[in-house]
Amino acid sequence: MSVIKTEKLTHIYSMGTPFEKVAIEGIDIDIPQGQLLAVIGHTGSGKSTFIQHLNALLQPSSGAVYCQGEDINKDKFSRRDVKWKVGLVFQYPEYQLFEETVYKDIAFGPSNMKLSAEEIDQRVREAAAFVGVDEELFEHSPLELSGGQKRRIAIAGVIAMRPQVLILDEPTAGLDPRGCQQILENICDYREKTGATVIIVSHSMDDVAKIAERIVVFHKGKVAMDGSPEEIFCRAEELMDIGLDIPRAAELAIALRREGLGLPEGIYTHEQLLAAILAVKEGSAC
């Protein structure tokens, strides 16, 4: 079942002025419930504009966005309610923390939903658990914590709204490899336990290769590619033409094929590459 669907979605900044700039144009995307989708593209490709349409932070210049079959821009109320269904975590979300305590900050979203105190409490604890924030930290000021912890608290603040769709803009930006790994695990965990749809915007092909089920590549405000990681990474040359990286394993696989190794198509993770080379080795040994 489709949870989010866009139809000919177009956004033009400063429309009607000489500064007019088309950010995205004619985007048709259908996202089924529970999918883990990665959105890729370099800065200015329109991917950030696109995700801000999915919870009505921006209104389309033309076209429409549907959430569970309903037009989210129908009226003021639908625009507000969609924020609970589609949670959006911005880039560097730790810079939005503002409450005196970690607990209150995570509770900000749910209290805006006008839930009961009990319900809010339950959600805060649940969200904190998802991102691995210890309850001992609840009474601390978020500003005292480390960068990685702040980031997780900010993500918990969105998860606490229990969105059916969780969108994260560059959730691993600026973190060290260990921090990246943790955040990605938290997100996958959340999805597994709740069945939520997750959309990740990323620059890092290696991160994406590890977790995504489907990849959408944005280029110059349009969808340049849309498919499974296998399908996308088979088109390595096209990706490089657009100026995007490909996963290192895919790059290495191409180099090895050039050296005459009979590796199958569609390799993009370390494990696949290792298995494929070992298979070739076995084959030649027999």
Nearest Cα to Cα of residue 59 among 124, 133, 6: 6
From candidates 15, 20, 70, 95, binder to another protein by CB under 8 A: 95
d(CA 211, CA 215): 10
Q: Is 261 in the site for another protein (CB under 8 A)?
A: yes
Nearest Cα residue to 166 out of 2, 1, 45, 3: 3
Instruction: Give 121: exposed, middle or buried? Use CB within 10 Å, 0-12, 13-18, 19+.
Output: middle
Q: Report helix, strand and coil shares of the chain as percent, to nearest 5.
A: 45, 20, 30
Q: Exactly one of 22, 173, 211, 234 binds another protein (CB under 8 A); which one?
A: 173
Query: Per-residue x/- mask for another protein, residues 135 to 164, rule CB under 8 A?
Result: --------x--xxx--------xx--x---
Q: How many CB atoms lie within 10 A of CB 86?
A: 27
> Which residues touch 271 (CB under 8 Å, ≥6 apart)?
none
Residue from 2, 10, 64, 80 binding another protein (CB under 8 A): 80
Under the criterion CB under 8 A, does residue 128 sit at the interface with another protein?
A: no
Say whether residue 267 binds another protein (CB under 8 A). no
Decide if residue 12 touches another protein (CB under 8 A): no
**Partners of 22 in the β-ladder:** 12
Among 203, 210, 222, 235, binds another protein (CB under 8 A): 203
How many residues bind to another protein according to rule CB under 8 A? 60
Binding site for another protein (CB under 8 A): 17-18, 42-43, 52, 55, 57, 80, 83-84, 87-90, 93, 95-98, 108-109, 112-113, 143, 146-148, 157-158, 161, 173-179, 203-204, 243-245, 248-249, 251-252, 255-256, 258-261, 270, 273-274, 277-278, 280-281, 284
